Amino acid sequence: MFDKFREECGVFAIHGHSEASNLAYLGLYALQHRGQESAGIASTDGRGIYCYKSMGHVADIFTPTVLAGLPGDLAIGHTRYSTAGDTALLNAQPFSVACNKGKIAVAHNGNITNAAELRRELERDGSIFQASSDTEVVLHLVARSRERTLAGALREALMQLEGAFSLVFLAEDRIIVARDPHGFRPLAFGQMERPNRRMAYVFASETCAFDLINATYLGDIQPGEMVIVGPEGMTREQYTVPREPARCVFEHVYFSRPDSIVFGRAVQQSREALGRLLAIEAPAAGADVVVPVPDSGVAAALGFAEESDIPFRHALMRNHYVGRTFIEPSQAIRDFGVKLKLNPVRHLLEGKRVVLVDDSIVRGTTSRKIVRMVRQAGAREVHMRISCPPTIAPCYYGVDTPSERELIAANNTVEETRKFIEADSLGYLSLGALREAVDDHRDEYCYACYTGNYPTELVNIEELRTAKGRR
């Protein structure tokens, strides 16, 4: 299994299109990289909310028969990797309930850092939870609210949440979306033309979902903003005052697809800039070839090669059809998992001084296996270059990072890490260069995983740390 950060989740919502569930399927298909554990779609035709979700990949879950059972011109969707809550169908989203505010469904990208406290309070007051996901807390807060309208209940619920959240809600006549006041997780909105020439509204974690369905990207939901799309049209409001911006910089380093626009900036542009600046800060003089660790290292490797004037080669081939391995390899075949996913192109590596470009080193175990693989393919030297700073702290805002004791950079110097991965040299991008690459001149990104300085007060930090340690 690859030693990588896990993608978070992807959300999608559409209002006002007769093919809403089919378009939601396509949107989730484009967002599959953000979570491969489960996926779900909820739709409405005004008479009820229909929901289907299952474990697995989007294309395997949603057959034509399943999609035919999701009628209506409003739909929301979710693709999941668990960052809070167990890996189980019970935690698959969207969650759908009937309560005193009517029938509603919700899907969430992020991590509500005070969910445990809120859940304990709700349980003391009689709430019964069905899942272990932090998202279910939101539904209970809405159901308990004394506000008469769904929008009013949501405002009240959102004001009680801490942490990172981009939320999409479905009611029988409207869609409501909201983003946390720091803007941790992305949430874009756009429009697409309907058969009757009226416009449908679309929301998604990344704009690559818009490209697939021919929707036009219009901008981002703002931090602390709630958008309501109903029979009366679209209304936008600040449900709370935006706080210190804290966009997740790892969206540009790794998570998002390079063909997406995230936080208003092209991801491919950021990643090529990461590579160019990495070549300036950590050059590999005398190297013969620049090789990306696919797929997330490709754009940065292009920038590195261009800046260094060193040939770029796809010398590691990725098998895109490999899921989770069905056996746990023994020590004797400990490289089995990596070899299933990557295979070297020997004639491009033999006798060469190779620069390997990757987006991160987490535990270091996979980096070591890749370095060994490249040497076994005949490389004379292997120089590892990483397009971000050393990761020294876990994330509590919707990214599944290991605990601090498992992060190699948190417990070792760069030289010690180099020795562990068995590279001839190791170079990281500096924090200043990372800021430059994403054009962060107004200090709008979260760099907590590189600094240990968290942008919010984590009142249950020990509980969160314990949860990280159990994974």
Active-site residues, by number, are 9
Tell me which amino acid residue 456 is.
T
**Beta bridge pairs of residue 199:** 193
Residue 302's SS3 state is helix
C-alpha–C-alpha distance, residues 52 and 96, integer Å: 10
C-alpha–C-alpha distance, residues 315 and 421, integer Å: 19
Distance in Å from the first CA to the final CA of the chain? 15
Tell me which amino acid residue 317 is.
M
Beginning with the edge strand found earlier in the chain, give each strand of the sheet holding 289-292 in spatial order: 289-292, 353-358, 381-386, 425-428
Tell me if 228 sits within 8 A of 174, measured CB to CB: yes
Name the token pair of 44.
């409405």
Tell me if 234 sits within 8 A of 198, measured CB to CB: no
Residues 6+ apart with CB under 8 A from 462: none
Can you list the alpha helix ranges (DSSP code H) found in 193-266? 208-212, 250
